[in-house]
Amino acid sequence: MSRGPAGARGSGADRHLGAVVVSSARWEGDPLSKHHIARALAGLGAEVCYVDPPVSVLSPLRNPARLGDMWGARDAEVAPGLHLWRPWALPGQNSRLGQRMNAGLLARGLASRAGVPDLMVAFSLESRGLLGRDSLAARARRPRVAGATLYHCTDSIEDLPGVDAGAARRFEAELAQAADVVTACSLPLVAQLAARGIDARYVPHGCDVFPEVALTRRPSGGSDDGVPAVLAGRPRPWLGYVGSMNFRIDPSLLAAALEASCGGTLVLVGGAFGPRPAPSLADLAARPEVVVLGRRTGEELVELLRAFDVGLVPYGPCAFNAKSYPLKVPQYLAAGLAVASTPNGATEELSGFVEVGSGPEEFAAAVSRALDRASCEPASLRIDAVKERTWRIVAIELLEAAGVEFPASR
Protein backbone atom coordinates (compact mmCIF):
# COMPACT_ATOMS: atom_id res chain seq x y z
CA MET A 1 0.00 0.00 0.00
CA SER A 2 1.44 3.34 -0.98
CA ARG A 3 2.00 5.88 1.79
CA GLY A 4 1.80 8.81 -0.64
CA PRO A 5 4.39 11.17 -2.01
CA ALA A 6 6.91 12.76 0.29
CA GLY A 7 6.59 16.42 1.17
CA ALA A 8 8.13 19.15 -0.89
CA ARG A 9 11.58 20.49 -0.15
CA GLY A 10 11.84 23.29 2.34
CA SER A 11 14.28 24.73 4.80
CA GLY A 12 14.76 25.08 8.54
CA ALA A 13 11.96 23.92 10.81
CA ASP A 14 9.54 23.60 7.90
CA ARG A 15 11.72 21.14 6.02
CA HIS A 16 10.29 17.65 5.71
CA LEU A 17 12.61 14.69 5.30
CA GLY A 18 11.50 12.10 2.79
CA ALA A 19 14.10 9.55 3.93
CA VAL A 20 16.72 8.92 6.58
CA VAL A 21 19.63 6.62 5.72
CA VAL A 22 21.19 5.15 8.87
CA SER A 23 24.58 4.04 7.63
CA SER A 24 27.35 1.79 8.88
CA ALA A 25 29.88 3.79 6.82
CA ARG A 26 31.13 7.36 7.26
CA TRP A 27 30.22 9.80 4.52
CA GLU A 28 33.88 10.79 4.20
CA GLY A 29 35.33 7.75 2.47
CA ASP A 30 35.20 5.68 -0.69
CA PRO A 31 31.64 5.65 -2.10
CA LEU A 32 29.76 2.54 -1.03
CA SER A 33 26.21 1.40 -1.74
CA LYS A 34 24.98 3.49 1.20
CA HIS A 35 26.32 6.69 -0.36
CA HIS A 36 24.98 5.89 -3.82
CA ILE A 37 21.51 5.04 -2.50
CA ALA A 38 21.35 8.20 -0.39
CA ARG A 39 22.28 10.35 -3.40
CA ALA A 40 19.77 8.54 -5.60
CA LEU A 41 16.96 8.98 -3.08
CA ALA A 42 17.76 12.69 -2.89
CA GLY A 43 17.53 12.83 -6.67
CA LEU A 44 13.93 11.59 -6.53
CA GLY A 45 12.57 14.86 -5.24
CA ALA A 46 12.58 14.66 -1.43
CA GLU A 47 15.02 15.70 1.29
CA VAL A 48 17.31 12.94 2.56
CA CYS A 49 19.38 12.78 5.74
CA TYR A 50 22.46 10.55 5.78
CA VAL A 51 23.31 9.55 9.35
CA ASP A 52 26.96 8.77 9.95
CA PRO A 53 27.86 6.08 12.49
CA PRO A 54 27.63 7.82 15.88
CA VAL A 55 30.90 9.05 17.37
CA SER A 56 31.79 8.95 21.06
CA VAL A 57 34.79 10.23 23.00
CA LEU A 58 36.31 6.75 22.67
CA SER A 59 35.79 6.37 18.91
CA PRO A 60 39.12 8.00 17.88
CA LEU A 61 40.97 5.41 19.97
CA ARG A 62 39.65 2.68 17.69
CA ASN A 63 39.67 4.77 14.51
CA PRO A 64 41.81 7.93 14.48
CA ALA A 65 39.93 9.22 11.43
CA ARG A 66 36.94 9.80 13.68
CA LEU A 67 38.73 12.58 15.54
CA GLY A 68 37.72 14.96 12.76
CA ASP A 69 34.10 13.80 13.12
CA MET A 70 34.13 14.82 16.78
CA TRP A 71 35.25 18.38 16.15
CA GLY A 72 33.86 18.94 12.66
CA ALA A 73 30.46 20.30 11.72
CA ARG A 74 27.60 18.18 13.09
CA ASP A 75 25.35 19.01 10.13
CA ALA A 76 26.22 19.74 6.50
CA GLU A 77 24.61 19.83 3.08
CA VAL A 78 26.70 17.47 0.96
CA ALA A 79 24.60 17.55 -2.23
CA PRO A 80 21.30 19.09 -3.39
CA GLY A 81 18.59 17.71 -1.11
CA LEU A 82 21.09 15.58 0.83
CA HIS A 83 21.89 16.43 4.43
CA LEU A 84 24.66 14.83 6.49
CA TRP A 85 24.31 14.43 10.26
CA ARG A 86 27.23 13.29 12.41
CA PRO A 87 25.60 12.33 15.72
CA TRP A 88 27.32 12.09 19.08
CA ALA A 89 26.87 8.97 21.17
CA LEU A 90 27.62 7.68 24.62
CA PRO A 91 30.54 5.24 24.99
CA GLY A 92 29.67 1.56 24.96
CA GLN A 93 27.94 1.58 21.58
CA ASN A 94 28.37 -2.19 21.16
CA SER A 95 26.57 -3.06 24.40
CA ARG A 96 22.84 -3.60 24.57
CA LEU A 97 22.39 -0.91 27.23
CA GLY A 98 24.57 1.54 25.27
CA GLN A 99 22.63 0.92 22.08
CA ARG A 100 19.31 1.41 23.88
CA MET A 101 20.42 4.74 25.32
CA ASN A 102 22.01 5.92 22.08
CA ALA A 103 18.91 4.93 20.11
CA GLY A 104 16.97 7.42 22.21
CA LEU A 105 19.55 10.13 21.49
CA LEU A 106 19.40 9.38 17.76
CA ALA A 107 15.60 9.38 17.70
CA ARG A 108 15.44 12.75 19.45
CA GLY A 109 18.13 14.18 17.19
CA LEU A 110 16.26 13.12 14.06
CA ALA A 111 12.93 14.37 15.41
CA SER A 112 14.43 17.78 16.16
CA ARG A 113 15.71 18.03 12.59
CA ALA A 114 12.67 17.03 10.58
CA GLY A 115 10.00 15.19 12.54
CA VAL A 116 8.95 11.83 11.12
CA PRO A 117 10.30 11.00 7.63
CA ASP A 118 8.39 8.86 5.16
CA LEU A 119 11.11 6.20 5.11
CA MET A 120 14.06 5.06 7.19
CA VAL A 121 16.63 2.85 5.44
CA ALA A 122 18.82 1.00 7.94
CA PHE A 123 22.17 -0.50 6.92
CA SER A 124 23.71 -0.78 10.39
CA LEU A 125 22.86 -3.65 12.73
CA GLU A 126 23.29 -1.20 15.61
CA SER A 127 20.31 0.79 14.30
CA ARG A 128 17.87 -1.90 15.40
CA GLY A 129 17.13 -0.03 18.64
CA LEU A 130 16.08 3.02 16.64
CA LEU A 131 13.22 1.39 14.73
CA GLY A 132 9.79 1.83 16.29
CA ARG A 133 8.62 -1.78 16.33
CA ASP A 134 11.49 -3.51 18.09
CA SER A 135 11.47 -4.45 21.76
CA LEU A 136 14.11 -1.91 22.77
CA ALA A 137 12.12 1.00 21.38
CA ALA A 138 8.87 -0.41 22.73
CA ARG A 139 10.27 -0.62 26.25
CA ALA A 140 11.49 2.97 25.92
CA ARG A 141 7.96 3.94 24.76
CA ARG A 142 9.24 5.97 21.85
CA PRO A 143 7.02 6.78 18.86
CA ARG A 144 7.80 5.47 15.41
CA VAL A 145 10.79 7.19 13.86
CA ALA A 146 9.51 6.89 10.27
CA GLY A 147 6.39 6.16 8.29
CA ALA A 148 8.05 3.00 6.95
CA THR A 149 11.26 1.25 7.99
CA LEU A 150 13.45 -0.88 5.75
CA TYR A 151 16.53 -2.97 6.52
CA HIS A 152 18.75 -3.27 3.44
CA CYS A 153 21.24 -6.11 3.94
CA THR A 154 24.44 -5.56 1.93
CA ASP A 155 26.93 -7.84 3.72
CA SER A 156 27.12 -10.88 5.97
CA ILE A 157 28.51 -9.11 9.01
CA GLU A 158 28.77 -12.35 10.97
CA ASP A 159 31.49 -13.51 8.56
CA LEU A 160 33.79 -10.52 9.10
CA PRO A 161 37.11 -11.28 10.81
CA GLY A 162 36.98 -10.71 14.55
CA VAL A 163 33.19 -10.39 14.75
CA ASP A 164 31.15 -12.38 17.27
CA ALA A 165 29.09 -14.33 14.73
CA GLY A 166 26.41 -15.35 17.20
CA ALA A 167 25.87 -11.79 18.38
CA ALA A 168 25.76 -10.53 14.78
CA ARG A 169 23.07 -13.07 13.92
CA ARG A 170 21.01 -12.06 16.94
CA PHE A 171 21.35 -8.37 16.12
CA GLU A 172 20.33 -8.96 12.52
CA ALA A 173 17.30 -11.01 13.57
CA GLU A 174 16.20 -8.18 15.88
CA LEU A 175 16.69 -5.60 13.13
CA ALA A 176 14.76 -7.68 10.59
CA GLN A 177 11.91 -8.15 13.09
CA ALA A 178 11.85 -4.44 13.82
CA ALA A 179 11.77 -3.35 10.17
CA ASP A 180 8.61 -3.25 8.10
CA VAL A 181 10.49 -4.57 5.06
CA VAL A 182 13.78 -6.41 4.50
CA THR A 183 15.76 -6.30 1.26
CA ALA A 184 19.15 -7.73 0.29
CA CYS A 185 21.62 -6.93 -2.47
CA SER A 186 22.73 -10.47 -3.38
CA LEU A 187 21.06 -13.81 -3.88
CA PRO A 188 23.37 -15.54 -1.35
CA LEU A 189 22.27 -12.99 1.27
CA VAL A 190 18.62 -13.54 0.36
CA ALA A 191 19.13 -17.29 0.81
CA GLN A 192 20.91 -16.83 4.16
CA LEU A 193 18.08 -14.68 5.48
CA ALA A 194 15.44 -17.08 4.15
CA ALA A 195 17.10 -19.98 5.98
CA ARG A 196 16.47 -18.02 9.19
CA GLY A 197 12.84 -17.30 8.43
CA ILE A 198 13.39 -13.77 7.13
CA ASP A 199 11.67 -12.93 3.87
CA ALA A 200 13.98 -10.55 2.00
CA ARG A 201 13.30 -8.98 -1.38
CA TYR A 202 16.19 -9.10 -3.85
CA VAL A 203 17.39 -5.60 -4.81
CA PRO A 204 20.84 -5.90 -6.44
CA HIS A 205 23.28 -3.03 -6.60
CA GLY A 206 23.38 -0.60 -9.49
CA CYS A 207 26.09 1.49 -11.11
CA ASP A 208 26.58 4.66 -13.08
CA VAL A 209 27.89 4.50 -16.63
CA PHE A 210 30.91 6.62 -17.48
CA PRO A 211 30.47 7.43 -21.19
CA GLU A 212 33.65 9.48 -21.22
CA VAL A 213 35.50 6.29 -20.23
CA ALA A 214 33.72 3.75 -22.37
CA LEU A 215 33.61 5.80 -25.56
CA THR A 216 37.31 6.60 -25.48
CA ARG A 217 38.82 3.31 -24.34
CA ARG A 218 42.46 2.89 -25.29
CA PRO A 219 42.95 -0.38 -27.18
CA SER A 220 45.61 -2.79 -25.94
CA GLY A 221 48.76 -2.43 -27.98
CA GLY A 222 48.07 1.21 -28.85
CA SER A 223 50.49 4.09 -28.38
CA ASP A 224 51.19 5.70 -25.02
CA ASP A 225 49.84 9.05 -26.18
CA GLY A 226 47.49 10.40 -23.56
CA VAL A 227 47.76 7.44 -21.16
CA PRO A 228 48.28 8.11 -17.44
CA ALA A 229 51.88 9.08 -16.85
CA VAL A 230 52.31 6.35 -14.23
CA LEU A 231 51.61 3.72 -16.89
CA ALA A 232 53.49 5.20 -19.83
CA GLY A 233 56.10 2.74 -21.08
CA ARG A 234 54.79 -0.07 -18.87
CA PRO A 235 54.36 -3.47 -20.57
CA ARG A 236 50.81 -4.35 -21.53
CA PRO A 237 48.29 -5.76 -20.90
CA TRP A 238 47.39 -3.60 -17.91
CA LEU A 239 45.43 -5.47 -15.23
CA GLY A 240 43.70 -3.14 -12.77
CA TYR A 241 42.33 -3.60 -9.28
CA VAL A 242 40.38 -0.65 -7.84
CA GLY A 243 39.24 -0.91 -4.23
CA SER A 244 40.27 -1.21 -0.62
CA MET A 245 43.51 -2.91 0.33
CA ASN A 246 42.26 -5.21 3.05
CA PHE A 247 41.58 -8.78 4.12
CA ARG A 248 39.34 -9.46 1.12
CA ILE A 249 42.24 -9.57 -1.33
CA ASP A 250 44.03 -12.87 -1.96
CA PRO A 251 47.60 -12.03 -3.05
CA SER A 252 48.03 -15.47 -4.64
CA LEU A 253 45.24 -14.58 -7.09
CA LEU A 254 46.97 -11.34 -8.05
CA ALA A 255 50.21 -13.27 -8.61
CA ALA A 256 48.33 -15.74 -10.79
CA ALA A 257 46.81 -12.85 -12.77
CA LEU A 258 50.28 -11.46 -13.42
CA GLU A 259 51.44 -14.83 -14.64
CA ALA A 260 48.46 -15.06 -16.99
CA SER A 261 49.29 -11.62 -18.43
CA CYS A 262 52.56 -13.01 -19.86
CA GLY A 263 54.70 -10.03 -18.98
CA GLY A 264 52.00 -7.41 -18.41
CA THR A 265 51.56 -4.91 -15.58
CA LEU A 266 49.40 -5.14 -12.46
CA VAL A 267 48.01 -1.83 -11.18
CA LEU A 268 46.66 -1.59 -7.62
CA VAL A 269 44.46 1.44 -6.93
CA GLY A 270 43.08 2.05 -3.43
CA GLY A 271 43.88 2.70 0.20
CA ALA A 272 43.70 0.79 3.45
CA PHE A 273 40.23 0.18 4.88
CA GLY A 274 39.04 -2.44 7.35
CA PRO A 275 40.99 -5.53 8.50
CA ARG A 276 44.49 -5.66 7.07
CA PRO A 277 45.42 -7.75 4.02
CA ALA A 278 47.70 -10.77 4.15
CA PRO A 279 51.38 -9.82 4.63
CA SER A 280 52.24 -11.39 1.27
CA LEU A 281 50.45 -8.50 -0.46
CA ALA A 282 53.35 -6.23 0.48
CA ASP A 283 55.80 -8.67 -1.14
CA LEU A 284 53.70 -8.71 -4.32
CA ALA A 285 53.44 -4.91 -4.36
CA ALA A 286 57.24 -4.64 -4.27
CA ARG A 287 57.65 -6.50 -7.56
CA PRO A 288 58.79 -4.35 -10.50
CA GLU A 289 55.83 -5.30 -12.67
CA VAL A 290 53.36 -4.02 -10.05
CA VAL A 291 52.30 -0.35 -9.79
CA VAL A 292 50.78 0.76 -6.47
CA LEU A 293 48.93 4.07 -6.73
CA GLY A 294 46.92 4.50 -3.55
CA ARG A 295 43.45 6.03 -3.56
CA ARG A 296 42.41 7.86 -6.75
CA THR A 297 39.19 9.72 -7.52
CA GLY A 298 37.70 11.96 -10.17
CA GLU A 299 39.53 12.45 -13.43
CA GLU A 300 42.55 10.46 -12.26
CA LEU A 301 40.39 7.37 -11.75
CA VAL A 302 38.59 7.95 -15.04
CA GLU A 303 41.92 8.00 -16.88
CA LEU A 304 42.99 4.74 -15.26
CA LEU A 305 39.73 2.96 -16.06
CA ARG A 306 40.02 4.16 -19.64
CA ALA A 307 43.51 2.65 -19.86
CA PHE A 308 43.03 -0.73 -18.17
CA ASP A 309 42.56 -3.86 -20.25
CA VAL A 310 40.97 -6.03 -17.52
CA GLY A 311 39.39 -5.25 -14.17
CA LEU A 312 40.15 -7.70 -11.35
CA VAL A 313 38.14 -8.86 -8.32
CA PRO A 314 40.75 -11.07 -6.58
CA TYR A 315 38.79 -11.88 -3.43
CA GLY A 316 39.74 -14.81 -1.26
CA PRO A 317 37.54 -17.87 -0.59
CA CYS A 318 35.73 -16.74 2.56
CA ALA A 319 31.99 -16.64 3.26
CA PHE A 320 31.91 -12.84 3.52
CA ASN A 321 33.25 -12.46 -0.02
CA ALA A 322 31.10 -15.21 -1.53
CA LYS A 323 27.88 -13.65 -0.20
CA SER A 324 28.77 -10.08 -1.16
CA TYR A 325 27.89 -8.09 -4.29
CA PRO A 326 31.13 -6.17 -5.05
CA LEU A 327 30.33 -2.79 -6.57
CA LYS A 328 33.45 -2.98 -8.69
CA VAL A 329 31.97 -5.74 -10.88
CA PRO A 330 29.19 -3.61 -12.45
CA GLN A 331 31.41 -0.51 -12.28
CA TYR A 332 34.15 -2.20 -14.30
CA LEU A 333 31.57 -3.34 -16.85
CA ALA A 334 30.07 0.15 -16.99
CA ALA A 335 33.51 1.44 -17.96
CA GLY A 336 33.68 -1.13 -20.76
CA LEU A 337 36.27 -3.30 -19.04
CA ALA A 338 36.50 -7.05 -19.35
CA VAL A 339 36.33 -8.55 -15.84
CA ALA A 340 37.94 -11.51 -14.07
CA SER A 341 36.55 -12.34 -10.63
CA THR A 342 36.17 -14.99 -7.99
CA PRO A 343 32.56 -16.15 -7.36
CA ASN A 344 30.19 -13.78 -5.53
CA GLY A 345 26.70 -12.34 -5.73
CA ALA A 346 27.60 -9.95 -8.55
CA THR A 347 29.08 -12.67 -10.74
CA GLU A 348 25.93 -14.73 -10.14
CA GLU A 349 23.80 -11.82 -11.37
CA LEU A 350 26.09 -10.95 -14.31
CA SER A 351 27.39 -14.43 -15.12
CA GLY A 352 27.28 -13.97 -18.89
CA PHE A 353 29.60 -10.96 -18.82
CA VAL A 354 32.25 -11.85 -16.22
CA GLU A 355 34.98 -14.50 -16.32
CA VAL A 356 34.95 -16.40 -13.02
CA GLY A 357 37.49 -18.65 -11.36
CA SER A 358 38.27 -19.95 -7.85
CA GLY A 359 41.85 -20.45 -6.69
CA PRO A 360 45.02 -19.34 -8.47
CA GLU A 361 44.84 -21.77 -11.40
CA GLU A 362 41.20 -21.08 -12.22
CA PHE A 363 41.64 -17.35 -11.68
CA ALA A 364 44.59 -17.26 -14.08
CA ALA A 365 42.41 -18.99 -16.68
CA ALA A 366 39.66 -16.44 -16.04
CA VAL A 367 42.15 -13.60 -16.60
CA SER A 368 43.23 -15.17 -19.90
CA ARG A 369 39.62 -15.41 -21.04
CA ALA A 370 38.99 -11.81 -19.97
CA LEU A 371 42.01 -10.66 -22.01
CA ASP A 372 40.54 -12.47 -25.02
CA ARG A 373 37.25 -10.64 -24.44
CA ALA A 374 39.05 -7.33 -24.19
CA SER A 375 40.65 -7.82 -27.59
CA CYS A 376 37.73 -9.44 -29.44
CA GLU A 377 34.47 -8.26 -27.85
CA PRO A 378 33.08 -4.73 -28.22
CA ALA A 379 33.10 -2.81 -24.95
CA SER A 380 29.53 -1.75 -25.72
CA LEU A 381 28.28 -5.28 -24.97
CA ARG A 382 29.57 -5.04 -21.42
CA ILE A 383 28.25 -1.52 -20.97
CA ASP A 384 24.81 -2.56 -22.22
CA ALA A 385 24.72 -5.35 -19.62
CA VAL A 386 24.64 -2.86 -16.73
CA LYS A 387 23.72 0.58 -18.05
CA GLU A 388 19.99 0.30 -17.38
CA ARG A 389 20.40 -0.56 -13.71
CA THR A 390 21.36 2.82 -12.33
CA TRP A 391 21.34 3.75 -8.65
CA ARG A 392 18.16 5.68 -9.38
CA ILE A 393 16.47 2.39 -10.30
CA VAL A 394 17.77 0.80 -7.08
CA ALA A 395 16.34 3.69 -5.04
CA ILE A 396 12.96 3.36 -6.76
CA GLU A 397 12.87 -0.40 -6.06
CA LEU A 398 13.60 0.22 -2.37
CA LEU A 399 10.78 2.78 -2.23
CA GLU A 400 8.42 0.32 -3.92
CA ALA A 401 9.38 -2.42 -1.45
CA ALA A 402 8.53 -0.08 1.42
CA GLY A 403 5.33 1.22 -0.19
CA VAL A 404 6.60 4.80 -0.34
CA GLU A 405 6.48 7.31 -3.19
CA PHE A 406 8.70 10.32 -3.77
CA PRO A 407 7.72 13.04 -6.27
CA ALA A 408 10.04 11.75 -9.01
CA SER A 409 9.69 8.02 -8.29
CA ARG A 410 6.36 7.55 -10.03
Claim to verify: residue 190 and residue 281 sit in the same structural domain: no
Helices (H) and strands (E) in the chain — how many of each? 17, 14
Question: How does DSSP assign 386-401, residue by residue?
Answer: HTT--HHHHHHHHHHH
pLDDT at 269 over 90: yes
Asked if 231 and 294 sit in the same domain, the reply is yes
Domain identity same for 219 and 319: yes
Does some domain include residue 293? yes
**How high is the pLDDT of residue 223?**
53
> Residue 13's pLDDT is what?
40
Question: 255 with 295, same domain?
Answer: yes
Q: What is the pLDDT of residues 56-76, one digit of tens each?
A: 766 666 777 666 666 667 889
- Would you say residue 8 has pLDDT above 50? no
Share of the chain above pLDDT 90, in %: 62
pLDDT, residue 276, reads 87
Tens of pLDDT along 79-92? 999 999 988 877 76
Cα torsion through 253, 214, 391, 345, rounded to 10: -30
Q: Pairing between strand 17-22 and 119-122? A: parallel
Q: What is the dihedral of CA 329, 332, 333, 335, to 10 degrees?
A: 160
156, 300: one domain: no
Model confidence band, residue 2 (pLDDT cutoffs 50, 70, 90) = very low
Q: Does residue 326 lie in a domain region?
A: yes
CATH number for position 248? 3.40.50.2000
Nearest residue to 49 (alpha-carbon basis) of 84, 97, 95, 89: 84
- Residue 21: beta bridge partners? 50, 121
222 lies in the same domain as 304: yes
- pLDDT tens per residue, range 192-228: 999 999 999 999 999 987 655 555 555 555 555 568 8
The reply to whether 71 and 187 lie within a common domain is yes
CA 206 to chain centroid: 10
Judge if 124 and 241 occupy the same domain: no
Domain containing 149 equals: 12-206+390-402
- Is residue 63, in this structure, part of any structural domain at all? yes
Does residue 409 lie within any of the structural domains? no
Query: What is the amino acid identity at position 62?
Result: R
Query: What is the domain count for the chain?
Result: 2
Name the residue with higher pLDDT: 410 or 247.
Answer: 247
Higher-pLDDT residue of 26 and 190 is 190
Do 233 and 89 fall within a single domain?
A: no
68 vs 263: which has the higher pLDDT:
263
Q: How confident is the model at residue 14 (pLDDT cuts 50, 70, 90)?
A: very low
**How many of the other CB atoms lie within 10 Å of CB of 195?**
8
For residues 253 and 156, state if they share a domain: no
Q: Is the dihedral of CA 16, 19, 21, 27 positive or negative?
A: negative
Q: How many CB atoms lie within 10 A of CB 4?
A: 11
pLDDT digits (tens, 9 = 90+) for 93-151: 566 666 677 777 777 887 787 678 899 999 988 777 777 544 344 444 445 566 899 99
Give the per-residue pLDDT at 124: 87
Q: What is the pTM of this model?
A: 0.88
What is the chain's percent helix, strand, coil content, to nearest 5? Answer: 40, 15, 40
Q: How high is the mean pLDDT of the chain?
A: 85
Together in a domain, 160 and 232: no
Question: Which of these ranges, 256-265, 278-287, 294-303, 370-379, has the smallest mean pLDDT?
Answer: 294-303
Answer yes or no: is 186 within a domain. Answer: yes
How high is the pLDDT of residue 98? Answer: 65
**Residue 60: what pLDDT?**
65
pLDDT of 113 reads 75
Region 44-66 average pLDDT: 79
142 lies in some domain: yes
- Quick check: 246 and 276 in contact, CB under 8 A? yes
Using one digit for the tens of pLDDT, what is the confidence trace for 394-405? 999 999 999 998
Task: Evaluate whether residue 220 is within a structural domain.
Answer: yes
**What is the pLDDT, as a whole number, of residue 132?**
53
Residue closest to 53 by CA, chosen among 32, 236, 43, 45: 32
Name the strands in the sheet holding 310-313, side by side, starting at the edge strand that comes first in the sequence. 290-294, 265-269, 238-242, 310-313, 338-341, 355-356
Looking at the structure, tell me whether residues 215 and 197 fall in a common domain: no
